[in-house]
Amino acid sequence: MSSANDPGLRSWIPVSEDSHFPIQNLPFGVFSVGGEQPRVGVAIGEFVLDLCALFESGKLRVQGLEENVFAASSLNPFIACGRSVWTDVRNTLSNLLREGSGELRDDASLRDRVLISRTDVRLHLPIEIADYVDFYSSEYHATNVGRMFRPDNPLMPNWKHLPVGYNGRSSSVVVSGTPIRRPMGQTKSDDAPAPSYGPSRLLDFELEVGFYVGVETALGSQLDVSRAESAIFGVCLVNDWSARDIQKWEYQPLGPFLSKSFGTSVSPWVVMLEAFEPFRCDGPVQDPAVLPYLSQSEPRGVDMNLEVWLKSASMTQPLKIAATNFKHMYWSMAQQLAHQTVNGTNLRIGDLYASGTVSGPTEFERGCMLELTWRGEQPIRLAETGEERKFLADGDEVTMTGWCQGQGYRVGFGEVTGQILPAIG
């Protein structure tokens, strides 16, 4: 295990026990201050560490890092440097920031220049996204949705044999805080003779965890499941907004299209996959046994707490409406990536892969409104105002958060948030 993951580490920068950004994390993102150009930083406690300025100072030198890739407006140039550079940069930052290290702490001029309060920065989309793929990897979610429409046979015959997914639209992936416009499209009720056009009435969120690819592979090549995680740079939170009524009418025979492509929100901080090493766990038993190219011997899961909070336009405080854990996912990140490439699909730096809705075994662990309200038959009551929600209303703000709990510290993402704006058209 990396020394940067040592649970006993503490930083000379004060970090509260409930912060998502202790020294064991050090997630990467892109930020700007005022009218300055965006650049790369790392979150530590209540601060952003300016890696661009730190590199220029000469205190962030690692083998293979010849240019100031942290001056870029995305993480892509840094990611292109390769895994050894990612790891060495994280380890170097850990050494600079850990308790007892005075190299940066005692240089008051540099310290004040490179440490910026998180309240003073604007966060940007961290990665220039190449392709976007969304999976359907929670057995609880797939079973719940299947029961709504096929009570006697909720899981399709292929579901336990391969990670089901679809190709999404990278152009509409946005950073947390970007408003989401209610989509227009065709819908058709069961008793209507023909479809109608208008705003979606069944707008939903989907609680997901995503990962970014950090390597380029050749067209026609395959990535073995045992090596798949080595191709992953980092992990983020994803809200895959979904228009359920548009989806119901359009999805046969080729699956989601306009019901998904209008917006996908991601968290601004990208946690390196190796930061989750202390929280790895076994995933659900896969029965029947998967085909050899998907067989994974190491622990497939991550013990990661996930929550969803909802705030209507009339509320003063958000309400937690769901809480689950990523360890429930049937298909792992490595299996998803291995399956993606088994036909020879090539990978690109910045590819985003999302898990699909994360749900658990209890009703409160359901990761979307479709499940939480059971198609609207069991509305959620917002206690502060007495409002009810079957699906999302204009003005509603959805906030998702996630973290792994260590002994006296957390490794998390912060939040991914989006507010619904009225439809136009």
Annotated catalytic residues are: 141
- DSSP-derived letter for residue 77 is H
The residues near 300 (Cβ < 8 Å, ≥ 6 apart) are: 282, 283, 332, 334, 335
Q: Which of helix, strand or coil describes residue 94?
A: helix
Pick the closest to residue 392 from 366, 414, 418, 416 (CA basis): 418
C-alpha 332/C-alpha 300 separation (Å) is 5
> Residue 157, preceding bond cis, omega within 30 degrees?
no
Quote the Cα angle for 372-178-77, to 5°: 115
Chain center to CA of 57: 32
DSSP-assigned states of every residue in 306-347: EEEEEE-TT-SS-EEEEEEEGGG-SS-HHHHHHHHHTT----
Q: How many residues does the chain have?
A: 425
227 φψ region: left (φ > 0), alpha (ψ -120 to 50), beta (else): alpha
Rg (CA), the chain: 22
C-alpha 306/C-alpha 356 separation (Å) is 13
C-alpha 143/C-alpha 360 separation (Å) is 11
C-alpha 319/C-alpha 248 separation (Å) is 28
Pick the closest to residue 270 from 78, 92, 117 (CA basis): 78
Neighbours of 9 (CB within 10 A): 16
First to last CA, the chain: 54
C-alpha 200/C-alpha 247 separation (Å) is 10
β-partners of residue 380 are: 389
- Tracing tokens 């998803």 back to the chain, one arrives at 336
